[in-house]
Structure 1
């Protein structure tokens, strides 16, 4: 089977998928509330004869299972797309920009909602890829699993699908290989991956530090938790600069500090929300240990009346691409995308719960669990605009990144590249 010929023959007209993308972008759903994306994906897969569609897995998660019709021993391949949006007010000015607000089921607060990370593009690409692979099923053997995962942004979706019995109660065929991708602020039409570490682990938690409240005119009779929190925030900036090997990557962010209600009352407590990104287990342990040491010491130094309260909020695993699987995918991508493919791509700055769908696969012999996986990126920025900003040294200022209120992939050639990558990746393993 010649993959370029297959794609030229079976790739659908992408105009309808562009319209689908715009609809999803205009009507996003927060984590745990991805109803439109899930309904759209299920309806589309159900319209393709032969797809066995199973819904409501770990929330709005779903899978579609398709058997190849060609004789042979093709593998079982799982392709994953995430579906949730973010609590961000969109500022792109696009005609299909989101103006949606909805109450977040996690905290009951109404928030603006935007697909600021490109998951709407992931859904559209996956549905077009599913259509392509369905149309060409007579030319490959094996089993294809199309999986749409909710709640990636809060690191809960993959865990929820596993906990709900993805591979047991819902009888998803056990994959031999798990594949996934993410649109990034790189030139559209480019694709990249690499062997080994490809996305950081992320640990998020809330820390409440305690003081003794009172009147702002009598600070000597209080213990000010705002001062404690301020010292913690400043001191935490030394963890990476002074305790992490400069050759290692790590980020410590205090994304939120909350204390008190008005200016003339010293509060009795302050809340810090902290996020940590690391790329090796050793650095992860060192950084988390340093944070706990610093928080404890600053509380003691200020005479805090009780120990700080630690509350984990989310945890993303390391994304470490399997060597043999990534070499296999890289070979196929290099052949298809030519010089638009980078086999030593820059790793993601963010984190993913994607690996859980592979590491929690039960072994077919019932002994142990875990199968190989490969994750890659594809670009979503107009190539001419990207190059112009790069030449002027303005990439940081003029090319919006994921989670920005201005993040909006150029629809083409982003979508076509994302579809091609999924199809090429899958077909490189399906028997032919």
Structure 2
């Protein structure tokens, strides 16, 4: 069970609930940034605000020189109206439905612990609060803006954490290799020719081939997915027309494609586009592609994955850790930090009895924030041990 109180972290559960009540979406999160700055006032740290986005970089200098380790929490919420029933629920049309409020509170707690342990730190800890994880390119923006050079010493490892409402509360999970999948989201537009519903022979109705494309996408995935090499395709939106007596010019399918490698996902995407073009062409119509950024898989270095297991079991006990059996197919832009520095990404269960089966990204998702102090302790200990290990060449 997660600890209920940890004097070293402060009241991070209360902070999580205050953050939960002020959700903001995207890259501009001024209220969230201000609240985090207030929480860090008085600590022996240096704080740098982002340029053009509401990020924070917090530098904790150790008592002795050495390399840098990066800790990251994402900040942004989702455009959902909350229906969780929590007393501290957000009002309005945005919600922390993915647990980023817990991540921020856990990192604040880790910073406090690290400030109290500066004599144990052989180097520098760079703690970053990143906006725009939910599809807004926040990690890429921060890396392009030079966050990895903030301390003058590029991080030797990066660590991030993610809560899940559908995992047992207080259990931490990690694995070497792929922890989360790669994804690309794109829109396929079937372009026809509009007309009157009473005279379909004079028009080209794009809804008909678009419906066949939906079936073809699912068939392709079924025929090509295995347990060793999973493939997921979701048609998240189908937009076409506004009136039953009007044949529309265009039908647009929103597709989310997920796999475990960039090569795999690009090959399947190309296959899907060719199939869509073939179907549309048989109806004398065409297809256009509007593609979003491709997010690479989130991959934990084997050394750092073992370090996660050692830290969790030492700090919280052996029952607090469980190996992640297979990658979670949700994507995460922390993958970009891991590509640059190595490190590890770990999960922690925050399932609550009240949440039932409501997953992350649900308007009814409920998280057990009793896990936050333990997440703080794990993040802080990871940084201290990784820096100590770096002196000895790992």
Question: Could you tell me the TM-score, scaled by structure 2's length?
Answer: 0.91
Paired residues for 1:43-58 under 5 Å = 43-49=38-44, 51-57=45-51
Runs of 4+ aligned structure 1 residues displaced above 4 Å come to none
Tell me what 2:336 maps to.
Answer: 356
Pairwise CA distance, 1:282: 4.1
Cα deviation, residue 172, structure 1:
5.8
SS of the counterpart of 1:162? Answer: helix
Corresponding residue number in structure 1 for 2:216: 235
Q: What secondary structure sits across from 1:186 in the alignment?
A: coil
- Is the 2:13–2:373 Cα contact (8 Å) retained in structure 1? no
Distance 2:387 2:247 in 1: 64
Pairing partner for 1:177 from 141, 145, 157: 157
Q: Provide the residue aligned with 1:250 in structure 2.
A: 231
The residue correspondences of 1:394-405 to structure 2 (distance < 5 A) are 398-405=356-363
CA distance in 1, matches of 2:290, 2:161: 31
Q: Residue 346 and residue 36 in structure 1: after superposition, are their counterparts in 2 closer, same or farther (change >3 A)?
A: farther
Q: Provide the rounded CA distance (Å) in 2 between the counterparts of 1:416 and 1:167.
A: 27
CA shift for structure 1 position 57: 3.9
What does 1:412-427 align with in structure 2 at a 5 Å threshold?
412=370, 414-427=371-384
What's the offset of the Cα at 1:354? 0.4
1:346 Cα offset (Å)? 4.5
CA distance in 1, matches of 2:278, 2:229: 26
Gaps of 5+ in 1: 1-7, 101-111, 360-369, 387-396
Residue 40 (structure 1) shift: 1.9
TM alignment of 1:5-84, pairs within 5 A: 11-14=8-11, 17-49=12-44, 51-57=45-51, 59-69=53-63, 71=64, 74-84=66-76
1:173, 1:399 → 2: CA distance? Answer: 44
**Structure 1 residue 336 displacement after superposition:** 2.4
Counterparts of 1:18-417 in structure 2, within 5 Å, are: 18-49=13-44, 51-57=45-51, 59-69=53-63, 71=64, 74-100=66-92, 112-167=93-148, 173-184=153-164, 185-304=166-285, 307-337=286-316, 338-359=318-339, 370-382=340-352, 385=353, 398-412=356-370, 414-417=371-374
User: Structure 2 CA distance, aligned partners of 1:246 and 1:372?
Assistant: 26
CA distance in 1, matches of 2:15, 2:217: 44
**In 1, Cα distance between equivalents of 2:137 and 2:85:** 31
- Is the 1:31–1:151 Cα contact (8 Å) retained in structure 2? yes
Q: Is the 8 A contact 2:26 2:136 kept in 1?
A: no
| 1:24 positional shift | 1.3
TM-score (norm 1): 0.84
* Structure 2: gaps of 5 or more residues: 390-394
In the TM superposition, residue 340 of structure 1 has moved relative to its aligned partner by: 1.5
Deviation readout 1:278-312 (Å, 9 max, x if unpaired): 012343133212211111111101111xx322111
Structure 1 residues 169-191: Cα deviation after superposition (integer angstroms, max 9, x where no partner): x5664111111010012111110
Q: In angstroms, what is the RMSD of aligned CA positions?
A: 2.1
Structure 2 distance, partners of 1:125, 1:246, is 34
